[in-house]
Amino acid sequence: MTRFATSFISSIDGTSSEISTKELCGGARIYYIFNSVFGNSLESIDPTYNLSVLDIRTAIRNSTGPRPSLFVPELAFDLLVKPQIKLLEGPSQRCVELVYEELIKICHTCGSNELSRYPRLQGKLIEVVSDLLRERLGPSSSYVESLISIQRAYINTNHPNFLGAAAAMSSVMQDKHEREKKATAAEEKRKREARRRKELNGVNGADTPEDDEDEQQQSVMPVRAVAKTQGRSMSPAVGRDGHRLGHHAASNSGGASGTAGGGKDSFLNYFFGKENGMASSAGPLPGQGAGGMPGMMPGGGRHVSQNYEPSIAASFRRGDTRPANMPMELGEEAVEDGGGLDDPSVPALTEREQLETELIRRLISSYFNIVRETTADQVPKAVMHLLVNWSKDSVQNRLVSELYKEGLFDELLYEDDAVRQEREKCEKLLGTYREAARITGEVL
């Protein structure tokens, strides 16, 4: 029993003299489970793969109740992130089961050749150790489950590694502007290609189909937008005079660089409650100078961009459900690109909803990564403490208490019939050899 317990412990610690060179075994196999199997399974989890844009939007709307929200509701983040943390429980429980199976395998392979003479004793040793491991499997699984429940019980958004709302919104706006720059560059490239084809074809002054299409888009969109304003009021950031819409459309292509700063401040002011900035952005624009350029804000205020970004912020403040960066005459075809919803019966996302869903998605990913790192560190420690180390410390005492009984000696030390017959055969053969050796010695 002592040799069996020592062999079991040394196999786990890696100090056994019979270490295999063909494959991982014992403690090395347990490390492989922790580092490669369990670690890779956690890394393969996408925290938002099962969250569609519609799910996030619905959670945001449900968390606001009957009133429109001024800010992104924090309750929506809690409602969405807790089920995602639950995804870590499956790989964690699988890790416990794999370590348990590896310990059972060690138990079956740590017997010596001498122990194989007594199959009943060997079977009892394996049975006692297996029962010990099975007893520890339940508490280990329960504790790992409680680790995941603890993470879901309290969402600590004050964690130092958490991205935070301000950083998340800054990232969202930065990506948004990057996409706009790429779209602008692609459009410029398309126009250059059209001009180059026009020059190569030798068309002097004649409009190509691409030029006609561009002119129609530039002329039709402002006219339709002005027609639309007959039925409803315009965004405060654009202005309350009809002639400002034309200036907005004209300056929309040339003010991309100024939009980045102004748009970012508008969104940050909205989401994070900078009321001074909101007030300055929400107010009507001052009069324009002689050159037609907008003036400065009173009291040394910053220049207010005429692009669509202020109109987005204004639509946030007034709860407009129309995408603010889209011309008023555009329908579902233009909205589909931002909404990402295939069902035509589902309303497309507004500009505000797009930003809110992307913000929630990034916050979920950030917090999930924190919980994932914590789980990857705590689960192996819990398994080692409650299952592996406990078994190592208790195996010797458990074997003695269960098997070291006088009434079991005859049964446990019963020798295998085949081994006994082979042993008797060898003893007879040995006696014959000795007798032959004696006779040979007398003759010589």
Helices and strands per DSSP (H, E), number in the chain: 18, 0
Please state, as a whole number, how many other Cβ atoms lie within 10 Å of the Cβ of residue 411. 11
pTM to 2 decimals? 0.59
Distance of CA 175 to the CA centre of its chain: 19
Q: Indicate if 368 and 241 belong to the same structural domain.
A: no
Q: Indicate if 8 and 125 belong to the same structural domain.
A: yes
Give the domain-ending residue among 313, 340, 359.
359
Q: Indicate if 410 and 425 belong to the same structural domain.
A: no
Q: Indicate if 223 and 339 belong to the same structural domain.
A: yes
Q: Indicate if 59 and 189 belong to the same structural domain.
A: no
Give the domain-ending residue among 339, 359, 379.
359
Q: What is the DSSP string of 260-276?
A: HHHHHHHHHHHHHT-HH
Percent of the chain with pLDDT over 70: 66
46-52 mean pLDDT = 87
101-105, 137-141, 167-171, range with the lowest pLDDT: 167-171
Give the domain-ending residue among 359, 377, 406.
359
pLDDT beyond 70 at 269: no
Q: Indicate if 26 and 145 belong to the same structural domain.
A: yes
pLDDT beyond 80 at 241: no
Burial class (CB in 10 A: 0-12, 13-18, 19+), 274: middle
Report the pLDDT value the prediction gives residue 213, as an integer from 0 to 100.
53
Report the pLDDT value the prediction gives residue 113, as an integer from 0 to 100.
72
Report the pLDDT value the prediction gives residue 329, as an integer from 0 to 100.
38
CA distance 319 to 338: 18
Report the pLDDT value the prediction gives residue 349, as an integer from 0 to 100.
74
pLDDT beyond 90 at 148: yes
Q: 294 φ, ψ to 5°? A: -65, 150
Q: Indicate if 321 and 217 belong to the same structural domain.
A: yes
DSSP reduced 3-state for 288 = strand
Question: What are the structure tokens assigned to 401, written together?
Answer: 């208490």
Question: What are the structure tokens assigned to 69, written together?
Answer: 């929200």
Domain interval for residue 391 = 2-162+363-416
CA distance 344 to 351: 18
100 — pLDDT class (breaks 50, 70, 90): very high
12-23 mean pLDDT = 77
Percent of the chain with pLDDT over 90: 22
Report the pLDDT value the prediction gives residue 347, as an integer from 0 to 100.
64
Please state, as a whole number, how many other Cβ atoms lie within 10 Å of the Cβ of residue 161. 10
pLDDT tens digits for range 392-424: 999 989 888 888 877 777 777 777 667 777 777
**CATH code of residue 106:** 1.20.120.1240
111-140 mean pLDDT = 86
Q: Indicate if 158 and 176 belong to the same structural domain.
A: no
Asked if residues 250 and 296 have their Cβ atoms less than 8 Å apart, the reply is no
Alpha-carbon separation of residue 166 from 32, 171, 229, 265, 273 (angstroms): 39, 9, 35, 11, 11
Report the pLDDT value the prediction gives residue 68, as an integer from 0 to 100.
76
Highest mean pLDDT among 162-166, 277-281, 369-373: 369-373
Of the candidates 88, 93, 92, which has an alpha carbon nearest to the alpha carbon of residue 46? 88
197-206, 293-302, 374-383, range with the lowest pLDDT: 293-302
pLDDT beyond 60 at 15: yes
Highest mean pLDDT among 10-14, 89-93, 275-279, 307-311: 89-93
DSSP reduced 3-state for 163 = coil
Mean pLDDT of all residues in the chain? 72
pLDDT tens digits for range 124-138: 889 999 999 999 999
Report the pLDDT value the prediction gives residue 91, as an integer from 0 to 100.
95
**Alpha-carbon torsion (366, 371, 375, 377), positive or negative:** positive
CA distance 385 to 16: 21
Report the pLDDT value the prediction gives residue 27, as an integer from 0 to 100.
85
Q: Indicate if 307 and 368 belong to the same structural domain.
A: no
Q: Indicate if 105 and 123 belong to the same structural domain.
A: yes
Q: Indicate if 93 and 173 belong to the same structural domain.
A: no
What is the number of domains present in the chain? 3
Beta bridge partners of 258: none
Q: Indicate if 132 and 219 belong to the same structural domain.
A: no
Of the candidates 77, 53, 74, which has an alpha carbon nearest to the alpha carbon of residue 365? 77
